[in-house]
Amino acid sequence: MSAKLLRRLLLTLLVVALIGAAVWWAKRPQPIPVLLVTVDQGLVESSIANTRAGTVEACLRTKLSATIGGRIEVLAVKEGDRVKKGQLLMKLWNDDQQAQSTLALAQVETARKRVAEACTVAANAESEAKRQTSLFRQGFVSGSREEQVRAEAQARRAGCDAAKADVVQAQARVSATRIDQRRTVLYAPFAGTVAKIVGEVGEYSTPSPPGVPTPPAIDLIDDSCLYVSAPMDEVDAPKIVAGQPVRISFDALPRQSFPGKVRRIAPYVSAVEKQARTVDIEATLDPDKAPPRLLVGYSADVEVILATRENVVRVPTSALQEGSRVLVAGADGTLQERTVKAGLSNWEFTEVLDGLKAGDRVVTSLEREGVKAGATFVADGKSPK
């Protein structure tokens, strides 16, 4: 073979090799960009949270209405006012009852004067009866005269007792009129803040008939003592006990949480919605770390902390696949599957008892196409080498 022909053959082979290499390079598997997180050591907590939004409640709250209807004569407070225990809040027109009370007091005074008169006469009659009895024994008066005087003394004493009974009856009438008057006034049963007033001076205030919901005249709240009521899934209820620590967050105070404790678990299951059975719990805030001002009615979330592990190997919970499997970034540039032994877990971290060590890198972008064991990878944000 001539040298010229040999050079042509070599050149052809070189071109074919270059074309083949170009085709292989174009069709080679591309590394998959993945999100990697380094396994570290830290805190892991097991916790459960409410199924629907909780609510800030006041320890004391009452919705007051007069027990009888009437025209509002006095509104001694306005919405937002702070009041003391026993302070007058509202008074209905009750001039007729005041007149009845004045009449009853006058009747008591009259009855007392009759007592003084009747009992004085009775005392005199009894004294005369004793004198007549003494004279009878000495033979100076007849037996019939002594019996007549003694009977009259007994009658006078009965009149005295009847007059005293009239005083008691008149005093009872005074008490009844005062009770009627108290039915027309509202006093604060505890110190607090007036949240709502229904009605104005001159308007008619109507109490709630049995079974008919009517807005209360005054809604009074003691906002010095607050707690959070939150519904928990019935499945989680057996795990909760009074005194467990909680973290409480409020929609009105984003990106903040506050420590507290479970104070009460309801002794029954609520079925507010179909297929949504819950158990209400009450949680109180740590007074030293509570936010400066909370409003009754704020929506809140309660996370009950069931257990805590400190300084343990942990992996993001989002890196776990079914069967406690994870994808680990291998030194050869491929993804390797490992099965781990998981411990305590929450939505953010899972404790790893075996299968990983601090410093390993695991994949958290499991939802991306092509992410599986054996695939080549590149850390997201870097160019393939």
**The pLDDT of residue 383:** 37
**The pLDDT of residue 352:** 92
Backbone φ, ψ for residue 307 (5° rounding): -155, 160
Whole-structure pTM value: 0.66
Residue with tokens 């104005």: 200
How many residues are listed for the chain in this entry? 385
Decide which of 1 and 365 is more confident.
365
Does domain 48-58+224-308 correspond to CATH entry 2.40.30.170? yes
CATH number of 66-92+184-216: 2.40.50.100
pLDDT band at residue 77 under the 50/70/90 scheme: very high
Look at residue 295 and tell me whether its pLDDT is greater than 50. Answer: yes
Compute CA distances 277 → 148, 235, 266, 274, whole Å: 86, 9, 13, 8
Average pLDDT over residues 191-212: 82
| DSSP-H helix ranges across the chain | 3-27, 95-138, 143-182
Average pLDDT over residues 346-358: 89
DSSP, res 122: H
Residue with tokens 């030194």: 331
**The pLDDT of residue 339:** 92
pLDDT in tens, 303-315: 999 999 999 999 9
Provide, rounded to the nearest whole percent, the portion of the chain with pLDDT above 90: 34
Let me know: does 282 contact 321? Beta carbons within 8 Å: no
Average pLDDT over residues 308-324: 91
* 3-state SS assignment for residue 201: coil
Q: Which two tokens stand for residue 7?
A: 């050079």
Do 29-44+310-379 and 66-92+184-216 show the same overall fold? no
pLDDT in tens, 255-294: 899 999 999 999 999 876 666 789 999 999 998 888 888 8
Average pLDDT over residues 13-27: 65
Identify the bridge partners of residue 48 per DSSP, sorted by sequence position.
304
**The pLDDT of residue 210:** 65
Kindly report which listed range (128-132, 259-263, 338-342) carries the lowest average pLDDT score. 128-132
**The pLDDT of residue 137:** 81
**The pLDDT of residue 219:** 92
User: What is the C-alpha to C-alpha distance for residues 287 and 248, in angstroms, rounded to an integer?
Assistant: 13
Let me know: does 88 contact 224? Beta carbons within 8 Å: no
pLDDT band at residue 29 under the 50/70/90 scheme: low
pLDDT in tens, 80-96: 899 999 999 999 888 77
Average pLDDT, the chain: 85
**The pLDDT of residue 211:** 63
User: What is the C-alpha to C-alpha distance for residues 341 and 43, in angstroms, rounded to an integer?
Assistant: 17
Look at residue 384 and tell me whether its pLDDT is greater than 70. Answer: no
Helix axes 95-138, 143-182, angle to 10 degrees: 160
Closest to 90 in 3D by CA, of 190, 213, 174, 202: 202
Q: Where are the domains of the chain?
A: 29-44+310-379, 48-58+224-308, 66-92+184-216, 94-183
Look at residue 385 and tell me whether its pLDDT is greater than 60. Answer: no
Alpha carbons within 13 angstroms on the beta-carbon side of residue 120 total: 6
Pick the CATH number of 29-44+310-379 from 3.40.630.10, 1.10.3720.10, 2.40.420.20, 2.40.128.130: 2.40.420.20
pLDDT in tens, 55-66: 999 999 998 888
